Structure formats: structure tokens, C-alpha cells
Amino acid sequence: MSQTRAAPRSTVPLAADIAVRTRDVSKHYGTVEALRNLSLDFPRGQLTSLLGPSGCGKTTLLKIIAGLIPATSGQIEVSGKTVTGPGPDRAFVFQDFALLPWASVLRNVAFGLELRGVARSEREAIAEKYIRDVGLAGFETSYPHQLSGGMRQRVGLARALSVNAEVLLMDEPFSAVDEQTRRKFQEDLLALVANENKTFIFVTHSIEEAVYVSDQIAILLPRPSRVSEVIRPTGIRDKGADNIRRDPEYLDIVDRIWASLRSYVE
């Protein structure tokens, strides 16, 4: 995979280019208000981060978009269709990988297709391709406990890619892997966003990570959760993966976000 980006993407998305749209989404757990009237647009083909202090409802929002938990009120649209549950247009990458410990890498990667009723030979051929793509060729018959944390998340990523969904939902996917692996993942993610025509929604609690990988950052503030600010780090996007962290704009945005989040961190 190339680690430099293709052509820079347009900075202001057209209305038709919104892949996922949330409208006045609220979520209550009993008397606890997790989200209040949250409206946010996710441009097609771009990576949007949901960033905020812990407990701000970013994972809740992601799971509502995935259709895993219902919103108390409001609406989610994916390519114009209202979400009522999980759908073939979305694939999820889990923070704790969510691999089947009793299944080989091959079966784990093919599991999404297995659940969709794809015939065995076909789904294994697709899975083998994505196992190669994420750099795990040769590990097809290994079991998850034989892999390192980073490799396990590559399995989770290959599983999400193999179902060929338009929208990839990533719930703090790199938080359970070590720092060096995380950096490699972030670079690979930039290449993935550039090369695959998919929309990425990325939950993270790391400011640096969000600024490094995102086309758009939505800052969520807690109790009740709302979008306080949407930042588009457009200037640094076409600088190349190796130069982003040295760019003054990158550093400015990181500082600005920290200034606005600081008061919410206990």
C-alpha cells in the first residue's frame, strides 16, 4: 500500500456527498441522558473522527449508527436510507477486536461473509485476499491467541473490509495496541482512506491521532453529549504521512483541541 495520499479531497462536501447523516439523535439510559439532539454529517470517502473526553457518548453514537443500539429519538441516514438496525452498508471494527477465539484467522476474516450466507469457497477466497492486504499472509490457519495485539486488530480490519461495506465504523481500534504498532496503523489508515472509496467514522480519545488521520474532527462534549465544534484540518492532508506531525497547522490544531477539552477532563 502506498503511504502517500492521492489527490487532496475537496474541503467543503456537497450535500449529495454526505454518506452518513445523524439528525437530532438523543439517547437516554433510564434517567441518564447520553446524547442530546446530536446532528452531524459524515462526508463520503472521508474519515471523520469523533473525539471527546471519556463518557461523552462517542461510542454510543457509533453503535447507534451501526444499528446495534436504538436511539431514543432522532434519525440516522446512511446514503439516504434510514437506519433501523445493522445493515450491509456498514461494517464495524471493535476496540477489543471481537475475534472468535475458537476460529482460525481465515474463518474469523470470513465470518462476516459467513453470516451473510456466502458459500464457503467464495468467502474464503475473498478472505484470503484481505488477509494478504492487511499483511497477514501465512497466518490463515493461526488462532487469535497466537497473534500479537496488532495482528489481531489487522484480522478485525480484514473482516470489516471483506464485507465491502461503504461505511467503516471504528471504535477506538488502535487503543489496545502498543504505541509503535499504533503509529504504523495510523499510516496504513491514511493509505486505506486514500485508496478505498469508503467513508470512515473513527472514535478515538487521542487528540494527536484524530488530527493525524482525520479529514473532519467532531469534538463531543459530555453530559449531555453534543457536538461542540467541527474541525477540518485541510491544510495538512496533502503533506504526506511523514510530514504531518511536523506541520505547524497540525500542532496548532492539537493545541486548540486540548484547550477546549481541558476543562472537561477530571
Partner 1 sequence: MPSRSFLLKMLSLAIVFGAWEIAGRVPVSYAFPTFLESMRALALLAIDGTLFTAYAETLRPLALGVLISAILGIALGLWIGLSARFDWLFSPIFVVMQSAPLAALIPLLVMAYGIGLTSKVFVVCIMAMPVIVLNTASAVRNTPSSLTEMARSFLGSRLDVILKVIIPAASPVIFSGLRLGISAGFIGAILSELKITPTGVGDIITYSRSIADYASMYAAIFSIILLAVLFLNLLEKLELHLFRGNNRGYVTD
Do strands 18-29 and 73-78 pair parallel, antiparallel, or not at all (unpaired)?
Answer: antiparallel
Of the pair 92, 200, the CB lying nearest partner 1 is at: 92
Q: Is 68 in the site for partner 1 (CB under 8 A)?
A: yes
Q: How far is the CB of 130 from partner 1 (least distance, A)?
A: 14
Which residues, 119 to 178, sit near partner 1 by CB under 8 A?
Answer: 143-145, 152, 159, 163
Among 87, 150, 224, 235, binds partner 1 (CB under 8 A): 87
DSSP 8-class letter at 22: E
Of the pair 159, 182, the CB lying nearest partner 1 is at: 159
Among 17, 33, 55, 103, binds partner 1 (CB under 8 A): 103
Q: Which residues pair with 226 in a beta bridge?
A: 221
CA distance 211 to 214: 6
Of the pair 12, 102, the CB lying nearest partner 1 is at: 102
Q: Is residue 61 classed as helix, strand or coil in its secondary structure? A: helix
* Alpha carbon of residue 59 to chain centroid: 11
Among 19, 36, 60, 92, binds partner 1 (CB under 8 A): 92
Q: Which among 223, 169, 196, 186 has a CA at the least distance from the CA of 53?
A: 223
Of the pair 51, 151, the CB lying nearest partner 1 is at: 151
Of the pair 96, 255, the CB lying nearest partner 1 is at: 96
Q: Which among 172, 248, 177 has a CA at the least distance from the CA of 213?
A: 172
Q: Is 53 in the site for partner 1 (CB under 8 A)?
A: no
Q: How far is the CB of 39 from partner 1 (least distance, A)?
A: 23
Residues touching partner 1: how many (CB under 8 A)? 31
Phi, psi of 222 (to 5 degrees): -85, 170
User: Exposed (0-12), middle (13-18) or buried (19+): which is 199, by Cβ within 10 Å?
Assistant: buried
Tell me if 61 sits within 8 A of 225, measured CB to CB: yes
Among 34, 91, 109, 261, binds partner 1 (CB under 8 A): 91
Among 11, 54, 81, 116, binds partner 1 (CB under 8 A): 116
Among 97, 130, 139, 202, binds partner 1 (CB under 8 A): 97
CA distance 86 to 69: 9
Of the pair 118, 257, the CB lying nearest partner 1 is at: 118
Among 99, 151, 219, 244, binds partner 1 (CB under 8 A): 99
Tell me if 217 sits within 8 A of 42, measured CB to CB: no
CA distance 19 to 147: 34
Q: Which residues bind partner 1 (CB under 8 A)?
A: 63, 66-68, 86-88, 90-92, 94-103, 111-112, 114-116, 143-145, 152, 159, 163
